[in-house]
Homo-oligomer: A and B are copies of this chain.
Amino acid sequence: MENFSSKLLQAAVEEFSRLPGIGRKTALRLVLHLLRQDSDTIERFSGSIVNLHQNVVYCSSCHNISDRELCDICSSPRRDRSLICVVEDIRDVIAIENTGQYHGLYHVLGGIISPMDGIGPSDLNIDSLISRIEKQEDTGEVILALSTTMEGDTTNFYLYRKISPFNIKVSVIARGIAIGDELEYADEVTLGRSIIHRTEYDKPSIR
């Protein structure tokens, strides 16, 4: 434990070092940086997180973070309402949105089934997904975009069994060699799958 000459400094450093991935040295650097800012900046910084925490709303349909009862994506008339992409958390929504390749809706599970961490299906937003499929008659496909871990695979299978009675297409995102990756460094399972699930050669159009 460091010798801080100020209890106030120590308290602030302790709060910052509770953040994930922030050690005590980094916490001290961040706190001393903030200390050099003016009062307005400090108010804006601390206010932003209090404001978010107090006023944040989760979309009643997809559980994405929102400022309203129905999020921008769920309420947009330009989104393809026949597609629901199931993701683990909000960061995945942002990551997929940033690709610009997906124009359907989302469903945020809020985690994946992980018996080791005591997370079962009832802890996740699975019931609301099923009732969405029941109510939304235009749902044509559910895309499972979860992690490629044992927990992800378990959750995929659980969801598949829940959805299969509805006669809806269930797909998973493609697994394979990342663009820019060298083949020799890919793990065997990924490389194997990428051969099994090979796609037709998409020849570049000649301009």
Binding site for B on A (CB under 8 A): 2-9, 11-12, 14-16, 18-22, 26, 28-35, 37, 39, 42-57, 59, 64-67, 71-73, 89-91, 93-94, 97-98
Contact = CB atoms under 8 A, between A and B. Distances in A.
Contacts of A91: 28-29, 32
A3 B49 CA distance: 19
A44 to B, nearest CB: 6
A90 to B, nearest CB: 6
Contact of A8 (B32, B45, B52, B72): B52
B50 A6 contact: no
A46 B18 CA distance: 13
A3 B101 CA distance: 13
A20 B31 contact: no
B29 A65 contact: no
A66 to B, nearest CB: 5
A72 B26 contact: no
Nearest to A106: B5
B67 A15 contact: no
B8 A90 contact: no
Given A11-B51, A26-B21, A5 B73 contact: yes
8 closest A-B pairs (Cβ-Cβ)? A46-B46, A3-B97, A12-B48, A15-B48, A8-B52, A12-B52, A42-B53, A15-B45
Contact of A66 (B5, B15, B29, B44): B5
Contacts of A11: 48, 51-52
Contacts of A9: 52, 56, 65
Given A4-B94, A5-B93, A12-B51, 10 more contacts: A5-B72, A6-B71, A8-B48, A8-B56, A9-B52, A15-B48, A20-B29, A32-B91, A35-B65, A39-B53
B34 A42 contact: no
A19 B30 contact: yes
B50 A89 contact: no
